[in-house]
Structure 1
């Protein structure tokens, strides 16, 4: 079956040249050369079997057929632009579904929601708690993750900040007096609180801190949120991500005498590559800025 419409690229080139009354200006608007516009117009004229422009001095004018096509093309492209704008506006009113672990949600995201709403009013968020590190992002526009690469090939990943972890302790911890003033190596004899959701954190910290071994495991907790609460309650020393305890450190409820070190993991905003939401970059920039403010300098 024969194609009913000529090439849309050719029609777009013609519409721009006819509207601007200049092939050169049409090339500038469409970011192509004068020759590319001319070739598209010649191909369109050949397909239609009639001239659309005629030379007049150094310029060109539209023929009768060109005038008819100009008016029709202007109307059609104008309607397309209007519909695209309406669709884009509708998209900005659609909630942006952001997934993250319950611990990140409770300890870091929720305390910032009011500020996020003020800074990005065009981004209504719908939050979804993730139980585990997802292998797919089904049903999500993006996920805020704290993990190490490699990432799935069908993900678009924005790295927001390196992961920085370190041991924290409450001044109320009964073992604090014997640890106070000691180097980080003293923790090689200290059973550390740990979490099943990030079991490699202690080893990653010990390796980054260049310790000759790894501290033994103390009491375990199923989620990072519970681990943080246990540390605040004075149950022991815990290796935790720095941004999650920035408030407690500032208030003196937790201490970080041995500092923080960067691991091979990162805070990332991951979205499905097949339907990358154009609002995601603004959210990524906002999250990265927040993480930069919370991150202490590595020890």
Structure 2
């Protein structure tokens, strides 16, 4: 059965003209020209083979056919407006689900959650731990926070937030700390380095940037997740490597030292959203995350006295052999 309808633009032009009693005012409301409204009205009149308006002095008035169409169209547009407003209200009140690997969640998001909720009270953020939130086989969240490298996965809109910076960290209570500080960077060649299978290239990337030959790296205890690796470092089990933002709080609190600094990698902190999703809250969240990640404290953590001492040694370190 045919369900032919006239152009929606023509019906919008008619509804606005009938409601406002003026072609000019309808054109202004719809942000089009007077001529565009007139053409749309003619489309309807030609389809019905009847006039919808008649001249009344300097204005216009609805014909009997125009009044019938107005009553039907106005009710339909009212329902559309009410339905659209309800959908927007429900969307704004629904939780915003952010997928996030557990290490980023525990070491960066949760310590800043109170500030985020204070700054963006309408967001109603719901954090969903997910080791690979961009995996297409998983249920897609409203957005995903991750550290990743291009090429970006298909089907996602990527908001780049900040470059990743990585560097070695060690506990002030580590038994082998003193010779490390005294010998500087070359001492790492004799160290059984803590590492994680989730970031296999972290140590080689940092070593390349600092002139250490890759065959000089000696690996010790490995961990499946970055979170476990950093807990091991805090516990004084050895030297680990991590993104600067994930160890900032530990460095400021004196739980970890970063004697050899951080280097930028090819990866970035990103906020990824499904391309099909259009939500005004995404831009607000991306702006907030970008500012938090790029703040002075987050890019280069404040150094405690032990870290300053360690850096004084590394500034005088001998070239790697």
TM range (shorter): 0.7 to 0.9
TM-score (norm 2): 0.81
Alpha-carbon distance in 2 for matches of 1:72, 1:175: 83
Alpha-carbon distance in 2 for matches of 1:105, 1:90: 27
Which of 295, 299, 313 is the aligned partner of 1:296? Answer: 299
State how 1:145-224 maps to structure 2 within 5 Å.
145-180=146-181, 184=185, 187-207=188-208, 209-214=209-214, 215-224=217-226
- Asked whether the 8 Å contact 1:164–1:295 carries over to 2, the reply is no
- String of CA shifts for 1:190-219, please: whole Å, max 9, x gaps: 442111111122223334x35253333232
State how 1:1-299 maps to structure 2 within 5 Å.
1-55=1-55, 60-132=60-132, 134-136=134-136, 137-180=138-181, 184=185, 187-207=188-208, 209-214=209-214, 215-293=217-295, 294-297=297-300
Alpha-carbon distance in 2 for matches of 1:182, 1:45: 90
The number of aligned residues is: 298
Mark the CA change 1:5 to 1:216 in structure 2 (over 3 Å): closer, same or farther.
same
Alpha-carbon distance in 2 for matches of 1:30, 1:183: 69
Mark the CA change 1:26 to 1:192 in structure 2 (over 3 Å): closer, same or farther.
farther
- In the TM superposition, residue 9 of structure 1 has moved relative to its aligned partner by 1.7
- In the TM superposition, residue 224 of structure 1 has moved relative to its aligned partner by 0.7
Alpha-carbon distance in 2 for matches of 1:188, 1:27: 75
- Asked whether the 8 Å contact 1:185–1:211 carries over to 2, the reply is no
| Corresponding residue SS for 1:162 | strand
Q: Select between 182-191 and 100-109 the one with higher mean Cα deviation.
A: 182-191
Alpha-carbon distance in 1 for matches of 2:183, 2:14: 76
Alpha-carbon distance in 2 for matches of 1:211, 1:203: 10
TM-score (norm 1): 0.86
- String of CA shifts for 1:50-94, please: whole Å, max 9, x gaps: 222345676544434334433433332122111211122122332
Q: Which has the larger radius of gyration?
A: 2
Q: Gapped runs of 5+ residues in structure 1?
A: none
Mark the CA change 1:187 to 1:289 in structure 2 (over 3 Å): closer, same or farther.
same
Q: Gapped runs of 5+ residues in structure 2?
A: 302-310, 312-321
